[in-house]
Structures are given as structure tokens and as C-alpha cells.
Amino acid sequence: MAKTQEGVKILLRNTISDITGCKTKSLHSDISTKTGDKVIVFILNQNLESKFKNQA
């Protein structure tokens, strides 16, 4: 388990890479002050939709 915020980011990037086969170019997150919901956006080095669309 990651003990720092940077460690969490590394784990998230590695997990996304393992699942998609794409590298993460950047990662952005935000938390709603009203609901507490968290959103994480990954910017990848490839078009993920096109990559998986061609495999179907």
C-alpha cells in the first residue's frame, strides 16, 4: 500500500496501464464540496476508444 500521495498516484498509473495497456500522460482529480464525490481523470498516450473498438 502507498503511504504518500505520490505513491498513490504511482499505483493508480500502474493499475490503469495494466488494465488498458496505455501509459498515463497526466492525472487530474477533484472532490465535490457538496457530495464528497471524487472524480479522477486519466489522460492516456493513446485513444482508448479506438484501441478497444478495433479489437471487437
Residue 10 confidence (pLDDT): 92
pLDDT of 53 higher than 70: yes
Please state the domain count of the chain.
1
In a domain, residue 54? The reply is no
pTM: 0.74
Q: What is the pLDDT of residues 4-43, one digit of tens each?
A: 988 998 999 999 999 999 999 999 999 999 999 999 999 9
Q: Give the Cβ contact number of residue 9 at 10 Å.
A: 15
In a domain, residue 51? The reply is no
Which cell goes with 31? 472532490
Q: What is the residue range of 36's domain?
A: 5-46
pLDDT of 55 higher than 80: no
- pLDDT tier for residue 54 given thresholds of 50, 70 and 90: confident
Which cell goes with 15? 493499475
